[in-house]
Amino acid sequence: MSAQDRNLFIKGDLYFDGKNLASAPDAPQPQVQAFYTLLQEPQSMNSWHTSANTVTHTFQTEAGFTSAVKMAVERIKAEEMEKVVLSRNSREPLPENFSPVAAFRAMAAAYPRAFVSLVSVPGVGTWMGASPEILVSINEQQVFHTVALAGTQTAVENMADAIWRQKEIEEQAMVERYILSCFKKLRLREYTEVGPRTIVAGNLMHLRTDFKVNLREVHFPTLGTDMLELLHPTSAVCGLPKEPALAFILAHEGYNRSYYSGFLGPVNGTGGSHLYVNLRCMQLLRHDAILYAGAGVTEGSDPQKEWQETQHKMQTMGKILSDF
C-alpha cells in the first residue's frame, strides 16, 4: 500500500437491507436520483471514477513470481519467518458491453456467501470484489466474529470428500495460533472456537476456523478496534511473524498492492460493523480490469503450484468478466 491509497470513510446515504433501499434523512436528493437512474440503466465505465495513476501499474511475470516464491521458501527454511503471502496482479481487457452495475449483480448471484462490493470514489477509482474472509465483525446481537482462513484447493463436487494436505493444515493452523495470540495479548479468555471446517468460495475451497465472543456476556467495548489493530495485515495476506514477512513483501513482490488485501465493509450501521479482507477483487480502469491474488508460502511450497493458485483465485473475478 502506498501513501495515496489512504483509508477512506464514506458516509452512508442509502441503506439496503437485502430487500429495500432506504435513504438517510440528510441524503443529497439529486445524487440519490442519479444513483437510482444508474441502477436502472447500467452505464459503461465512462461514467465511473477511474484512478489517475493508471500508468504506474506493473505486472509480475510467471518467472518473477516463482523466483520470489523460491527465495521466500529459502528464507523460511533459514527460520527468518514461518509464512509469507506473495501476490501479483494481472491486466484483463474489459468486455465491450461491460457495466459495473451488471457485474455487481452477476457477482451477487454467483457468490451468495461472499461479501460482494462495488466501490467508486472520485480521485481513487472503482473496485469490485467477492471476499470470502471476515476480518472483524460485530453484529446487531453484539457478537464479535473473526476467522482463520487459509489453505486453498479447487472445489470438489461434494465437500465431504475434501482431503487436505499437511501443508494446508499447518498453514491454516498458523493463522489460528496468531488469532489466539492476539486474544492472549488482550487477556481475553472467553471465546468460542469452531473448526477448522472446509468452506467453498467460488471455484475454490479453504479451511476456516470461526472465533466468536458474545459482548453481552464479556465486557470488552474496545474488542473490535483492538483486534482490527492487531490483525491487520493478517497472516492470511501478509505472513508470520508479521514484520519480516512484510519486509519481504515490500522488497520482493515488485508492485503496489493498492487497496488489494486491505479491508472494507459497513461500519456502525443498523446491522453492526462488518469488515472484510479485500480479496478476490479487481480494480476497474476505462478499458481494462486489474485482477489481484496472492498465495501463502510456507516451507513446503512449490513455486509453480503457488502461481497456479493465484490464477485460480483470479478466476473469481475472471469469470465475471468472461460471462459478459
Ligand X SMILES: C=C(O[C@@H]1C=C(C(=O)O)C=C[C@H]1O)C(=O)O
Considering only 1-9, 55-63, 187-195, 287-295, which stretch makes contact with ligand X by CB under 6 A? Answer: 287-295
* Listed residue (300, 245, 225) closest to 86, CA to CA: 245
* Residue with cell string 511450497: 301
* Listed residue (63, 56, 108, 10) closest to 307, CA to CA: 63
User: What are the cell numbers at 207?
Assistant: 479451511
Cα angle: 165, vertex 166, 172; to 5 degrees: 95
Task: Work out how close the CB of 7 gets to ligand X at its nearest, in angstroms, rounded to a whole number.
Answer: 20
Q: Which of residues 187-216 bind ligand X (CB under 6 A)?
A: 206
**Residue 163 dihedral angles phi and psi, to the nearest 5°:** -120, 130
Task: Work out how close the CB of 190 gets to ligand X at its nearest, in angstroms, rounded to a whole number.
Answer: 26
Contact between 103 and 111 under an 8 Å Cβ cutoff? The reply is: no
Identify the residue among 50, 152, 198, 283 touching ligand X (CB under 6 A). 152
Considering only 29-37, 143-151, 224-232, 245-253, which stretch makes contact with ligand X by CB under 6 A? Answer: 143-151
Q: Which of residues 89-118 bind ligand X (CB under 6 A)?
A: none
| Contact call for residue 68 and ligand X (CB under 6 A) | no
| Contact call for residue 284 and ligand X (CB under 6 A) | no
Task: Work out how close the CB of 59 gets to ligand X at its nearest, in angstroms, rounded to a whole number.
Answer: 15
Site track 233-272 with ligand X (rule: CB under 6 A), x = hit: ---xx-----------------------------------
For ligand X (CB under 6 A), the number of binding residues is: 17
User: What are the cell numbers at 94?
Assistant: 474489459
Considering only 90-98, 103-111, 138-146, 290-298, which stretch makes contact with ligand X by CB under 6 A? Answer: 290-298
Identify the residue among 294, 307, 315, 320 touching ligand X (CB under 6 A). 294
> Residue numbers of the site for ligand X (CB under 6 A)?
85, 87, 133, 149-152, 206, 236-237, 279-280, 293-296, 313
